[in-house]
Amino acid sequence: MSRTNIDIDDELVAIVMNRFNLPTKKSAVDMALRRLVVETDQMKLVDSIFGIGWDGPEGGRFTDELHSR
């Protein structure tokens, strides 16, 4: 891990630290970067399956068989 000096919005960091109960600015920045990576990976996954099609009836919806009896 390397050391980096950054100018950062102290109010925004304080919000993140309070909201997620984080002890340091470093932990707030680390958590935010990790969440950003995970969220963009999730968006890529959703985009990759978009448009794969539906094999059910036109206009049909998924139904729970246990509740439709």
Q: Which residue has 């059910």 as its token pair?
A: 56
**What is the predicted pLDDT for the residue at 69?**
54
Cβ(17)–Cβ(29) under 8 Å? no
**Overall average pLDDT of the 38-56 stretch:** 77
pLDDT tens-place string over residues 58-68:
666 666 665 55
Mean pLDDT score, 8-26? 97
pLDDT of residue 68: 57
User: What pTM does this model have?
Assistant: 0.60
Smallest CA-to-CA distance from 25 within 35, 15, 37 is with 15
**Rounded Cα–Cα distance for residues 23 and 48 (Å):** 37
